[in-house]
Structure 1
Amino acid sequence: MADAAQSDIHTIFEPNTSTWQYIVADAVTKDAVIIDSVLDYDIATSTITTSSADNLLDIVKRHNYKIIFILETHAHADHLTASKYIQQTLLRAGNPKPQICIGKRIEEVQHTFATKYRIDEAEYVGVFDKLLDHGERLSLGSLEIEVLHLPGHTPDHVGYVIGSNVFTGDSLFLPDVGSARCDFPGGDATALFKSMSKLLSLPPDFRLYSGHDYPPNQGEGRKEPRAFATVAEQRAKNKHVHDGVSMDEFVQWRTQRDATLGEPRLLHQALQFNIRAGQLPTASEHGHRFFHVPLKVPEDAWTWGVETQG
C-alpha cells in the first residue's frame, strides 16, 4: 500500500448545512473519491440546485482526477446527497461510471423510512452500486480504503480509513462540539460510545475528519470551521468523550440531551432523497415530484373531517 503522503485531500465546507465534503485522491494515479457530497435545497421554495456539487466537479476537473467511488458515510438527515447527480454528470461527460457506495446496513434504514414515507421498493432497492461491510477494503490507485462500521448515530454508519486519515462522518465531531445525536430510528447512544472508542483507540497522530462542524462562536472560541482533529487531541479535549468519561456517563447525558432536540430542518426531505442514493422521486402524470412531509395536528383533529348527523 502506498504511503499516506501520496494522497491529496480537499476539504470543502458547505455552510448552509454545516457539512464537510471531501475529495481524496492518489497524487500519482489521480484516482479519487468524493465523500459526503451535498446537493443544495431551498426548503422555502422546495427547489434543488447544484452549486455545491458543481464546485466539487470543478475541483475534480481542475486536478484531472478520475472519480472511482462516491462514498456515503450514512443516510444523512440534514442534507440531500449529490451522489447520483455527480455520477450522472461524470457519465455524460464521457467519464467511466463511479460507484456510489454506502454501508450494507443501509437496507435496514431504507426499509424503515420507505415504510414511513410510503416509498415504493422500485425507487430504493438496488440504487447503490456497492454495499460495504466492516473491514472491507477498496483500491484507489496505489492507496487503500478500509471500511469501518461505526453505528450509533445511525445503524448503517461507516467511516473510511485512508492511510492515517479517517473520514468519520457523524461518528465524532470536533473536540469543542463533541458528539452527534442518537435519537433517529436505529440510533443508539451505547453503540455510538463504542464507535467513538474505536476511533479513539487509533494511533494518536491519526487525523479524524468530521462530517460536520458547528463552531461554538462564543467568547474567545474559534469562529471558523475545522475539518479534523487528531486522535490525541480528541482524547484530551473532546467535550463529551475525552479520556476518563465512562460509557454510562455518556449514555445518560446523550439520552437526556437528545430528548430536548428538535427535528433537523431538512429531515423529511433528506431521508426520502438519500435512501434513493440521490435519485429523484418518480414524476407524477403531471410532471411533479413529491416528498411526503408529516402533518402534526391537535389531538381532536380527527373530528374535523367527520360529518355529524342531525
Structure 2
Amino acid sequence: MIFKQLNPHSCRTYLIGEENDQRVIIVDPVIDHFSDYLALLKEEGLTLTHVIDTHIHADHISAGSALKDATGCEYVMHEAAPPQCVSMRVQDGDVLHFNTLELKVLHTPGHTQDSISLIVGDNLLTGDFLFLDDAGAGRDDLPGGNPADHWESLNKLTDLPDQLMIYPAHEYRNRQPATLGRQRQSNPHLQKRSKEEFIKYLEDLRLGPADWMRDVLKANYACAKDPGAAWIPLDTPACEIKGTMDKGVNEIAVQYIEAEELRTWLQTNRSEVLLIDVREKAELTGPLGHMTGILHIPIGQLTGSLTGLQEHKHKKIVVVCRSGARATTGAQILLKAGFASVYVLKGGMISWNQASEGLLQHKQQ
C-alpha cells in the first residue's frame, strides 16, 4: 500500500493508494495546498477517485470541494456533515471499497458530530478524534462538540488491536505516528475514566474557541474554495485543548488563595480586589451560583479582553471558576500579559460554597 503524508506543516493530509494502480484517495486536504495536490497528481500520473474529510474543520479550509470540482472525484464525509457539496455520505460500520483498498468507517463524534475515523490496513486515521501522546485529542468546546459523545467514541477503540498505527489530522510538536498500544499508555484521553469523570476532565481543561474558528467553520459549511474566505493564524495548535493560548502560557506558575482569606480581603478592602469569573454564562445561574460583584469573562474571551482590563492592573485580581482549573488558565493568561498581582481561588466555587456553609453552621452554633 502507498501511504504518504503530504503537507509540510501541522495539518496532516494523507494520500492512499496501491503500487501498480494509478488511482488514489486523499484524506483531509487543505485549500492552501490545492495546487500542490493537483501538481502531484499530474507529475506522478495519478487519478484521484475520492477525497475524504474526517470532519468539518475549524482551523483550516478544506480542499475537498475544490478537488471534487477539479478532478471529478467523489467527496466523502459522514452523513451528519453540514456541507451540501459532499457527494458521498457514510455512516458507522460502512466498509468502503476504493479501488482495491478496503476502508472501514468508525463514527467517532465528540470533537464534532460528523467525525469519522478510518481503518485501512494496519493504519487508523483518527482525524481530530485522537491525537498523539500528551496532545490528547481535538477539543470538544467547538460548535457540535460533546465530551459525553467523545467518551462513547473512545470506547469503540477497546477491541481494536494494539498494533494499529495512529495517524491524526494534526501534529503540532513533531510527535511521530505511534501504535494504539502506545497511546493506551501515553495518551491522557485513553486513561480509564467513567463518563462523568471524563466530562469533568475535559470541562476543567476547557478553553473556549477563538472567534476566528467559528468563521472557518462557516466557510467550510459553505464549501468555500478561497484560501482567504476566513482569516486563520499560521500553524496555531488551535484544535488541541488550550491550543489558542500563547506559547509558554501553560508553564507560568500561579498563586492560589483560600476561600477564607479571600473573604477577609473582600471584607476589609473590597475596592482593591477584582473578581473575574471565567465560567460560561449558564454556569453563573447553576447550582454553584456566583459571587457578588464579579466581572464575567468566559475563559475563551479573556485574551481578547486584556486591553479593557488595563485600568485594573493596580488591583489584586482573583480568577474564579468551578474548581480552579479554568481559573488557573485565566491567571496564566493575565500574568503573561503583565498583570502582576493575580491569584486563583483554590477549589473554585465549590470551595467557596463549602466555606460559606461552614461559616453559616459556625454562626448558628
The structure 1 residue matched to 2:95, chosen from 113, 134, 137, is: 137
Residue 198 of structure 1, CA deviation: 1.6
**Structure 1 counterpart of 2:37:** 56
**Structure 2 counterpart of 1:147:** 105
* Preserved CA contact (<8 Å) 1:200 1:231: no
**Structure 2 counterpart of 1:249:** 197
Alignment of 1:1-310 (within 5 A): 7-15=1-9, 18-40=10-32, 52-90=33-71, 97-106=72-81, 110=82, 126-215=84-173, 224-226=174-176, 228-242=177-191, 244-258=192-206, 261-264=207-210, 266-279=212-225
CA distance in 1, matches of 2:63, 2:217: 13
Residue 264 of structure 1, CA deviation: 4.0
CA distance in 2, matches of 1:20, 1:104: 23
Residue deviations 1:237-260 (CA, integer Å, cap 9, x gap): 113323x444333221111111xx
* Preserved CA contact (<8 Å) 2:65 2:223: yes
SS at match of 1:19: coil
Q: Which moved more, 1:230-239 or 1:185-194?
A: 185-194
Runs (5+) with no aligned partner, structure 2: 232-300, 306-365
CA distance in 1, matches of 2:151, 2:56: 19
CA distance in 2, matches of 1:241, 1:290: 36
TM-score, length-normalised on structure 2?
Answer: 0.59
Structure with higher helix content: 2
SS at match of 1:144: strand
* Preserved CA contact (<8 Å) 2:142 2:209: no
Which one-letter code corresponds to 1:33 in the other structure? Answer: I
CA distance in 2, matches of 1:290, 1:83: 15
Larger Rg: 2
Residue 280 of structure 1, CA deviation: 5.8
Which one-letter code corresponds to 2:21 in the other structure? Answer: T
Runs (5+) with no aligned partner, structure 1: 1-6, 41-51, 91-96, 111-123, 216-223, 282-288, 299-310
Q: How many positions carry a matched residue from both structures?
A: 234
Q: CA RMSD in A?
A: 2.6
Residue 13 of structure 1, CA deviation: 3.4
Residue 202 of structure 1, CA deviation: 0.9
Identity across matched positions, percent: 27
CA distance in 2, matches of 1:57, 1:263: 32
* Preserved CA contact (<8 Å) 1:174 1:210: yes
SS at match of 1:240: helix
Flag the 1:290–1:36 CA change in 2: closer, same or farther, 3 A.
closer
* Preserved CA contact (<8 Å) 1:146 1:161: yes
